[in-house]
Structure 1
Amino acid sequence: MKFVLSFLCLFLIVTNSVLLLFQYDAYSSGLEENGQVFFYEQDVEMKVKKDKIVIKQHFINLPEEEVIVTWPIISENRSCDLDTSDSCNRLTEDMTTFKAEENSKQSISYEIPLVDGLKDGQLIQDFLVKIETGAVSLTSLQITDELKRGGMWVSGLPLIGKTSLELIDYSLSIGAGDVEELYWQQNVLPIQYEDDYFTVYASTTLPDEITNLLGELDYTNSEHLAVIFEKNKSNIDASRIAFVQQEDIASIQNELIVKNIQAQFELPREDQLIAEVLSSFLLDLPVGSPKSSWMYETITNYLTSEQRKKFQTALLNNKQQLTAAKFDEILTDIINLKTSFFVLNEQAGAENFPLLFEDYRPLYINELQQEKMKVLFKDGKILYEAEPLLSNLGYTLNHTDKGLYVQNATRAFRFPIQEPFYVLNEKRYDALSEPFEDIGSQLYIEEAWMMRLFLVNIEKQEKRINITQSALF
């Protein structure tokens, strides 16, 4: 059995070495540009049993310096790989560190429990040991299933080959980068397309327009990606495995482009909105959800062609630190108008927050600076964020089904919902316009109404705005 497996591994590795060498070199260069402290390779052997996965992980090209070992939280029975005499002579007794030493190869073993056994459609995450301050340049992943469940294993690495022997099922994958997730499903989908960047699994042959798209797609990330055409898998989120619901060009473009951008710009997987918006600006076309498309079109329609080019260039120049706040900072610099468009849309969930501009000047209420309070310009009006403003003036706010109640010790207001009046201390007054306005999830009050109702003075200086109470009640 060992001879058969060894021969199979050797044959598959040799026949694919040329293809993988190009991808490995590209990935290593990318790591160096990102300033990682060191790079190592890993060989991972996984034996899948009834209620656990036994893993042997071999580290190659470790530095001579001391490095910290981070184990998967769920791992059990951590130990050395005792098959080799000096397999982990650098591992400390508490198993948290590889000591400083010349031996550049170390091997450890541990178990990942499968509490309910292996389930169809299961995604196993964060199952490998990591070396702190190091980055994985190349991974070899061998999976042996002693129960011969069949099915298909997908890691994102290029699949070199698989076989079913008398006692086991076996597969081998090798490729640039680390493995963050491992997916298994019972239904085996054949590979319908593969190149240096993609392996596509689908039940039917892909149309020429799809394969042509994959061949032409500008996928600049050096890590290989597995693409699975499978319905009802949209809730599975993996970094190197893309689940595409529909075999159409739009779905493929959206899924693959966004994952590429997330990897290139090191965006968190959960930061989907920013990844989609960034993809749209870099490709000059709407990508992703309706909200992402709306945000892209809103900014694109506002900017001149020259400003759009500056915006794209600035995004590329800030590759390692792009957040919603950074988007706003870049846009503010280009149009010379302060905005929190991206941050507020990120906070607003599914709701669209309009493109509005803010007063640069810090706001002071009774000489106390309000660092996070916004003053917006909208439709010729000046709007102040109501709740922090009124709270600082000594009022409480209460939203009810009858309207908004604002009161302090001596003055009580009620502002009905969409009714042209307000009530002050039980006396009704007509209102020709709305004092308050909801924008996103925040309540704002118009400047003239604020001065009239809440008896404040506003002094606008070159470098600050002062709000003081003109009377106390």
Structure 2
Amino acid sequence: MKITFRIVGLLIIMNSVLLYMHYSQLADASGSSEKLSRYVQEIEVINRADAIFITHHFHNLDEGRYEIIYPAESRKHACFLETESSCIRMNENATAILEGEHSRQSISYEIPISGTLESRKLFKEPFAKLRNAKPDSTILHVTDESGIGGMWISGLPLVGTKKMDMVDYSMFKGNGTVSDLYWQRKVYPEAYRGDRLSIFADSIDADVAEQLNGDLKDLNTRHISVVLDPEGKPLQSSRFIITQLKATELSDLVLERGVRSMYAISEREQLVASLVTSISIDTPTGTKEAKAVFESMKGSLTEEQYEILQSRLTEKYGEHIDASILDELIGEVAGWKTSFVQKNTEGSYPFVLEDTRTVYMNGEAQEDVQVIIMDKQTLYPASKLLSRNGYDVSANESSIYIESEEEKFRFSLRDPFYVLNEKRYELREKPYAFIGNEYYFAEDALRRIFHLSIQKNEDTIVVKSLLGGELK
């Protein structure tokens, strides 16, 4: 009983101070966030042997309707009657907050725990959300009643911890949301605490930590937490990192994780996270392959286009970003469609823009003929375009063969020349490119060497032969 009174007293004191600071800051903020369906949340977690029990308070709700999205593994969803009005807007099965004036509503639910917590545990997305709304800030209380000890990490700044008989308590508070919750038995002290970064380790180089914190601050990321555990298995969540790396090796990893805190980027979208980070800080980051993709993209855009891309990306702050969305942004600033990022998630692919106009031959649309732009050259797929003009197209390790009854071309893959009917012609540069397991020929070469007429308008590209006869 004494333990219970001490916990309640501690919660009341700490919570009163933090809530006063929290709502004072909110009162000073502009009213724009309310129009964007923003809210403030406070989450109370109690860890017991068989489950974590969660009480979730939503503050500063507007008068609109909110659908509640519960965690997939949660159970026993219910309204939590904290005050007389904390359930007044809740529907019967606690799946939605209905239209109304009361700005604070509360729910409760639990997440079952299978087995016993041994060395560590990641609770993946254990907290409820409101559809089409985002929290401006979060206060998180974690009370452990199981006696397991250890440390809890959420990615939010740690306000403080208190260890008592049979009960451990931790409080976190910060901007934005909390996505995951992590526990491990081995405890590390908070070796560094900055505005945007906390590092838990036996020791840390202060200069390195300050530099990382400054970089995150320049990016305007959310706060993230890093646990330097030489013996722990590496783990990454949207707002925290468990790593065996040394502090001096953390830069790329921390910056990328910071960027992930700014955007909703899936853990599967590793290349996207690296590219967004590289664009944001204007420095190649990530793997060797990711750095090469960034350099290829940046080198293919003008300085003005690249700056616009950086600006457009900033405008996406807080939104979902994946390979297709990043391609859309790049395509918008470049003036053409592109699948560059999507293709590079599957393998190495050059920076290519896509002409969306439909190619017509003999009055028929050639839907499978994709015209592309690379290095300011317009290119056409040789096997599709030329085979429909009466040629057979093949290739080996040294040459491309393009042959009809009258013309037999051999293009060298080693030097810039071609042979037509046994007569050699020198070229200033190779008229073809090998892209995605297919040879493409430049538009100028198709006109000059193969005597094709290529006429373009706003919606179509019409290809005709100048040698007489119809394209096949």
SS of the equivalent of 2:148 reads coil
Cα deviation for residue 460 of structure 1 reads 2.2
Query: Does residue 349 of structure 1 match 2:345?
Result: yes
Tell me, in whole angstroms, the C-alpha distance in 1 between the residues paired with 2:27 and 2:276. 27
Tell me, in whole angstroms, the C-alpha distance in 2 between the residues paired with 1:256 and 1:23. 28
2:412 to 404, 414, 433: 433
SS of the equivalent of 1:431 reads strand
Cα deviation for residue 422 of structure 1 reads 5.5
Which letter maps to 2:9?
F
Query: Does residue 367 of structure 1 match 2:363?
Result: yes
Query: Does residue 460 of structure 1 match 2:455?
Result: yes
Tell me, in whole angstroms, the C-alpha distance in 2 between the residues paired with 1:66 and 1:310. 37
Cα deviation for residue 14 of structure 1 reads 6.3
SS of the equivalent of 1:217 reads helix
Query: Does residue 7 of structure 1 match 2:9?
Result: yes
Cα deviation for residue 355 of structure 1 reads 3.3
After superposition, residues 242-253 of structure 1 pair within 5 angstroms as: 242-249=241-248, 251-253=249-251
Native 8 Å contact 1:459 1:465 kept in 2: yes
Which letter maps to 2:254?
L
Native 8 Å contact 1:47 1:53 kept in 2: yes
**Cα deviation digits, residues 288-325 of structure 1 (max 9, x gap):** 22233223333444566566545544554565687322
Point out the more displaced range, 293-302 or 238-247: 293-302
Point out the more displaced range, 369-378 or 240-249: 369-378
Which letter maps to 1:355?
F
Question: Which residue does 1:264 correspond to in 2?
Answer: 262
Cα deviation for residue 112 of structure 1 reads 0.8
- Gaps spanning 5+ residues in structure 1: where? 395-410
Provide the alpha-carbon RMSD of the alignment: 4.2
Point out the more displaced range, 137-146 or 302-311: 302-311
Native 8 Å contact 1:339 1:356 kept in 2: no
Native 8 Å contact 2:234 2:242 kept in 1: no
CA shift in 2, pair 1:378/1:279, >3 Å: closer
Tell me, in whole angstroms, the C-alpha distance in 2 between the residues paired with 1:273 and 1:22. 40
Cα deviation for residue 191 of structure 1 reads 0.6
CA shift in 2, pair 1:40/1:311, >3 Å: closer
Native 8 Å contact 1:60 1:104 kept in 2: yes
Aligned length: 439
Native 8 Å contact 1:458 1:465 kept in 2: no
Which letter maps to 2:203?
T
Native 8 Å contact 2:192 2:206 kept in 1: no
Which letter maps to 1:461?
K
Cα deviation for residue 103 of structure 1 reads 3.6
CA shift in 2, pair 1:126/1:291, >3 Å: same
Question: Which residue does 1:77 correspond to in 2?
Answer: 76
Tell me, in whole angstroms, the C-alpha distance in 2 between the residues paired with 1:237 and 1:50. 25
CA shift in 2, pair 1:163/1:442, >3 Å: same
Question: Which residue does 2:132 correspond to in 1?
Answer: 133
Tell me, in whole angstroms, the C-alpha distance in 2 between the residues paired with 1:198 and 1:267. 20
Which letter maps to 1:374?
Q
Native 8 Å contact 2:359 2:462 kept in 1: yes
Native 8 Å contact 2:343 2:349 kept in 1: no
CA shift in 2, pair 1:446/1:321, >3 Å: same
Cα deviation for residue 332 of structure 1 reads 1.7
Query: Does residue 152 of structure 1 match 2:151?
Result: yes
Native 8 Å contact 1:385 1:442 kept in 2: no
Tell me, in whole angstroms, the C-alpha distance in 2 between the residues paired with 1:224 and 1:22. 20
Cα deviation for residue 5 of structure 1 reads 0.8
Q: What is the TM-score normalised by the length of structure 1? A: 0.76
SS of the equivalent of 1:354 reads coil
CA shift in 2, pair 1:57/1:149, >3 Å: same
Which letter maps to 2:412?
S
Which letter maps to 1:2?
T
Cα deviation for residue 192 of structure 1 reads 0.5
Question: Which residue does 2:419 correspond to in 1?
Answer: none
Which letter maps to 2:215?
L
CA shift in 2, pair 1:385/1:96, >3 Å: farther
Question: Which residue does 1:210 correspond to in 2?
Answer: 208
Cα deviation for residue 155 of structure 1 reads 0.8
Higher relative contact order (CA 8 A, sep 6+): 1
Tell me, in whole angstroms, the C-alpha distance in 2 between the residues paired with 1:371 and 1:176. 49
SS of the equivalent of 1:110 reads strand
Tell me, in whole angstroms, the C-alpha distance in 1 between the residues paired with 2:381 and 2:402. 21
After superposition, residues 169-318 of structure 1 pair within 5 angstroms as: 169-202=168-201, 204-219=202-217, 220-221=219-220, 223-230=222-229, 236-249=235-248, 251-268=249-266, 270-301=268-299, 308-309=306-307, 312-313=310-311, 315-316=313-314
Tell me, in whole angstroms, the C-alpha distance in 2 between the residues paired with 1:370 and 1:237. 46
SS of the equivalent of 1:45 reads strand
